[in-house]
Every structure is written in structure tokens, then in C-alpha cells.
Structure 1
Amino acid sequence: MPMTRIMLLSAALLAGCTPRIEVAAPEAPITINMNVKIEHEIHIKVDKDVESLLKSRSDLF
């Protein structure tokens, strides 16, 4: 009988030591700051014939 009591007591003590995991939402909302500046440059090289055509026919584009 004393061995049974010791086993029950140790089982009760070990059951009280189980880890507890808690998942909770944060108090403040999550803020993502996306200050992004995008710059780009386009360089076009054309032949002299195409360049003169574009100058003479400005209504193409």
C-alpha cells in the first residue's frame, strides 16, 4: 500500500508540472511601414533614320 501511495503522489505532482502554452492577440494592431520610393530611367538608342522619321512624323506616338 505505501508504494501505491507514493506512485499516486508522484503522478499527481508530475501532472501539475505540465507546460502551458498560451496564444493571445497583441493589444495594439500590427503596423507595417512601407515608405518605398521607386525611380526609374529609360534610355533608348535609335538609328539616325528612325530618329529623323520620328522628328518628321510626330503623330506616330
Structure 2
Amino acid sequence: MKRLTKLRIAISATVALLALTACTPTVKIEPPDKPIVINLNVKIEHEIKIKVDKELDELLSNDELF
């Protein structure tokens, strides 16, 4: 009787182990077939405007401020 029970446990454990290993997910890492393309449509405009009043410009040119 004990032998039959041990045999059933062994068979059950083997079947359970095979069932668990059959459900193991497989992860594959592969490079893409096409290169990675990043489109950057960026337009950068930079504009600096300096306006000086005529009076202030005259003061700065005469060195009266400093």
C-alpha cells in the first residue's frame, strides 16, 4: 500500500512539474528590423531688439552719466 501511495505522489509531482515548466513564459530580445527614426520638426527663431531713446543715447555717448 505504501509503495502505491509513494508511486502516485511521485507521478503526481512529475506531472505537476512538467505542467509548470510548460507554462514558463519565454522572453526574447531582438533588435528591430528597421532603424529607429525620430522626426524633430523644430523651428528656432531668435531675435533681439534693442531700442534706445535718442536722449539716453546722447547721455551715454557724452559720458555724463558716469
TM-score by length of 2: 0.63
| Residue aligned with 1:6, SS | helix
Which stretches in structure 2 are left out of the alignment for 5+ residues?
Answer: 1-6, 62-66
Q: Distance in 1 between matches of 2:52 and 2:35?
A: 53
- 1:44 is aligned to 50
Instruction: Give structure 1 regions of 4+ aligned residues with deviation exceeding 3 angstroms.
Output: none
Which stretches in structure 1 are left out of the alignment for 5+ residues?
Answer: 54-61
- 1:10 is aligned to 16
In structure 1, what residue type is equivalent to 2:31?
A
Of all paired residues, the percent bearing the same amino acid is: 42
State the number of aligned residues: 53
Alignment deviations for residues 8-33 of structure 1 (CA, whole Å, 9 cap, x no partner) = 11111111111111111110000111
Q: Which has the larger radius of gyration?
A: 2
